[in-house]
Structure 1
Amino acid sequence: MRRRTFLRQISATGLMIGSGLSPALALGTSDTVSLTILHTNDWHSRIEPFPMDGGRNAGMGGAVRRAQKIATLRKELEHVLLLDAGDIFQGTPYFNLYSGELEFKLMTEMGYDVATIGNHDFDGGIENLANQFDQHASFGLVNSNYHMENTPLAGKVKPYQIIEKGSLRIGILGVGIELDGLVPASLTGETVYTDPIAAANKTAMHLKMEEKCDLVICLSHLGYRYREEKVSDLVLAAQSRNIDLILGGHTHTFLDEPVVVNNRDQQGVLVHQVGWAGILLGRIDVSFDKRRGKRCFNCANEWLG
């Protein structure tokens, strides 16, 4: 397990971000509500740890190790939210043999709350994705920029989901990458891709203004950053409104700590991604002081190896 220590204060938003300190102490009050957000992305059917073959990732990851860590944290913490940013399927023979059944069963056993869809989750076809979700998943799937009204996923994938933890209301939305050129049309059916920035902002405004969510999280499978002009998590954050935290996937980017990006209203948005293959379990502890309008974010990722 590796941890980085960093502390930034954005006075305009009352946002404090830190690692290696108690969130309650950082806020300077005992009258706080705390939430721990655990998140994964791009675990690509990596059920077992990497083999002990001398490679860079030898012995790391594995669903059992992740499940044990999640169970331990749930015993220690009152409010835990478990999320995934897509590309659950594809990458090992387990997917070839069981078409995603095992992955969804394991996520259900681990108690995932919400996930979004990655491009590789269509690799068995959209009907397979819908069937595996129906039969084996107890968590929600969210995406706000794929229109799926004429597909087997109609009514199953929601633009957002609201999770209540204690007195907190957390709004979770999803966005996905352009599928054309990545996934054959025969596998995505009549899925229609729309602008993820417009969709995310519209959904986030509803969650923050109408649903009165204390925190709005975007599960993104857009990718962290690109050299070419392409929508990424950093671009989304800069052009966003009402999104507090972007948990990303697709580019397999290992971040030791969240990056802070000012949005269109010059408010800080946290952007985080934790690599791939279940090697790293992302952890962000959030403390809320509603009376003073402050939130403290404490990052303590868990390396599974």
Structure 2
Amino acid sequence: MKQFITRRSFIKAAGAATALTAVSVGAPAAFAEETNCFFGDKADVTILYTNDVHTYIDNKSPKPTYAAIAALKKSIEDTGRDVLLVDAGDHIQGTAYGSMDDGATIIELMNEAGYDLATPGNHEFDYGMARAKAVIQEADFPYVSCNWVDLRTGFNVLPSVKFFFVGGRKIAFVGVTTPETFTKSTPAYFMNDAQTKYIYDILGGEDGQKLYDAVQKAIDKAEFWGADTIIGLGHLGVDPSSSPWTSEEVIAHTHGFTAFIDGHSHTVMANKQVTDASGKAVTLTQTGSYFKNIGKMTVGADGTITTELIDTYEGLDAAVAATASNWISAVDDMLGEEIAVGDTKFYINDPATGKRRIRSGETNLGDFVADGIYTYFNEIEELHCDVAIMNGGGIRTDVEAGPWSFKTCKTVSPFGNVACLMSVTGQQIQDALEFGARFAGAEGKENGGFLQVAGARYTIHPMIPNTVQTNDKNVWTGSAATPRVSNVEIYDKTTGTYQPLDPNATYALAGMNYTLRNLGDGFAMFDGATLIKDYVSEDYLVMSSYAAMFGGVDANGLPHLASANSPLADYPGYMLNYEDPYGAGRIQMIW
């Protein structure tokens, strides 16, 4: 089903109304000084910015799109003003429009829209290290990151700073990538082929000091080369669970930023003033996610910073719009076949609060995806499977009641991970559940590694402090001293009952290779487990296969996704309730 279509534009629009000169940190000082002398009086400079677009390119006008951004940039250029367009990461992964060609068309759209700079987010690594580097080469714009290093050489993989000589001033952008990339992408991608050691690092440090030092070093370089405006272009976010690596903490522990364009936490933040280490106020801004807004920053002739978020724009660049439309049509044709009908809405968000729940509690879609993995091995592969797990971060969107297509499944699970079956001990299952639940119940914290389960049930005690052992990259290193997960029970198909987990027994555990084999989200407790079967099917195909097995087929030949129609309804005593947004009660919270 997966098709890779490469479409690449090598020609950037020439003859823009304003000439922008960019130079890397390594340019001779004399050249930098002379270049600055070419400009006269200072003028306003506009910086347009995006973050966490996540390949949501099918917005309808007048909502923002790459075609709208291209038109907006040109409209500013046509007035004779200077404008730059930058992105703060997570642009090539998220929906089928990214995953069907590993982000190639997204980069083409960004090229055509006229992006001038980007920094990699954690999801730029989701297709592997080789693809991440290829994406950087395919882009007509440079990438920057001050804290992505090659441990074999000790050098940065990318430039840490990029200068633009524009509007009579010298603007420097410092790129910053979240150290959470290790566990929110796939740690194995940062290791050697034998997976025995890391060969790349995203500098962070358990207390954040490595990150702060890398950022300050880059700021110091920008100041040394004469920048009068220094802007952070970071993919860090403000979520408490990202501490000590949030943008607010980076600003607070460094000095020299004029402003900071952020991403990662999907926060709508037009302008927040954060005090840096010298006591100066720094503008922090973020657009949200999924093209909710376009950011517009103005660096005034007097150096003042103003920002606004633009949520609609009527203009469209015809060429960019055509590229997007053609690709959307191609993907929709490939994945548009209807395979089932949802009789109820499936949730990742809490219907009562609207907040994302899938990473901290059970939902009916979490149950459904985990059940799909469990059923695939038990019924299609006809292998014995005791338990299936699915990380909440791998389940991406609510699904409204109504028709389901392959595209629906690809949008829910866009990562292209494949299912595998491992032989593990009960203790490894206990450690995994404990690790996934280590932030459960904490206000403002969530965990992409929170585990939705099939063939099992368990209880979390949020009032018990987290004692799971992890390293400075948040990778599991040891069992919890005082478990907060209890009453773990495994479904026994023979008796139709749930039986207590035996730490010393062996179980057949199914999941995605991201979690079970590649240290995804930091699940290192499975290292050394015996592989039973791998590479059986991609994540979205496992889900669609499960949907196709439901009964209740209507006149159009489509099965209906109701609990009573599931093949698991024939398993006596199996916990199943897709009609409840909060699932079947497999995960209990006891305060």
| TM above 0.5 | yes
Distance, in Å, in 2 between the alignment partners of 1:170 and 1:218 is 11
The 1:297–1:155 alpha-carbon spacing in structure 2 relative to 1, beyond 3 Å, is closer
| Corresponding residue of 2:279 | 266
| Corresponding residue of 2:518 | none
The 1:107–1:39 alpha-carbon spacing in structure 2 relative to 1, beyond 3 Å, is same
* Unaligned residue ranges in structure 2 (runs of 5+): 1-40, 192-198, 204-209, 314-591
Count of residue pairs brought into register by the alignment: 258
Q: 1:202 aligns with which of 214, 217, 220?
A: 217
| Corresponding residue of 1:36 | 46
2:288 is the alignment partner of 1:288:
no
Code of the aligned partner of 2:169: L
2:309 is the alignment partner of 1:301:
yes
Counterpart contact for 1:261–1:268, Cα < 8 Å: yes
Counterpart contact for 1:160–1:171, Cα < 8 Å: yes
Distance, in Å, in 2 between the alignment partners of 1:39 and 1:129 is 21
- Offset of 1:46 from its aligned partner? 1.5
| Corresponding residue of 1:27 | none
| Corresponding residue of 2:586 | none
The 1:140–1:298 alpha-carbon spacing in structure 2 relative to 1, beyond 3 Å, is same
- Offset of 1:103 from its aligned partner? 1.2
2:251 is the alignment partner of 1:237:
yes
2:187 is the alignment partner of 1:185:
yes
Counterpart contact for 1:46–1:63, Cα < 8 Å: no
* Unaligned residue ranges in structure 1 (runs of 5+): 1-30, 51-57, 290-294
2:57 is the alignment partner of 1:47:
yes
CA deviation profile, 1:166-211 (whole Å, cap 9, x unmatched): 4211111111112232122233343212122111111101111x11
2:87 is the alignment partner of 1:84:
yes
1:37-186, aligned counterparts within 5 Å? 37-49=47-59, 60-134=63-137, 136-148=138-150, 157-178=158-179, 179-186=181-188
- Offset of 1:60 from its aligned partner? 3.4
Q: Could you state the TM-score of these two structures normalised by the residue count of structure 1?
A: 0.78
| Sequence identity percentage | 25
- Offset of 1:88 from its aligned partner? 1.0
Distance, in Å, in 2 between the alignment partners of 1:98 and 1:220 is 26
Distance, in Å, in 2 between the alignment partners of 1:42 and 1:140 is 18
Distance, in Å, in 2 between the alignment partners of 1:48 and 1:187 is 30
Cα-Cα RMSD = 2.2
Q: Could you state the TM-score of these two structures normalised by the residue count of structure 2?
A: 0.42
Distance, in Å, in 2 between the alignment partners of 1:265 and 1:238 is 9
Q: Relative CO higher for 1 or 2, CA cutoff 8 Å, sep ≥ 6?
A: 1
The 1:229–1:43 alpha-carbon spacing in structure 2 relative to 1, beyond 3 Å, is closer
Distance, in Å, in 1 between the alignment partners of 2:80 and 2:264 is 29
Code of the aligned partner of 1:69: L
Which structure has more strand as a fraction of its residues?
1
- Offset of 1:121 from its aligned partner? 0.5
Counterpart secondary structure, 1:230: coil
Counterpart secondary structure, 1:120: helix
Distance, in Å, in 1 between the alignment partners of 2:282 and 2:261 is 11
The 1:45–1:229 alpha-carbon spacing in structure 2 relative to 1, beyond 3 Å, is closer
Counterpart contact for 1:122–1:188, Cα < 8 Å: no
Code of the aligned partner of 2:71: Q
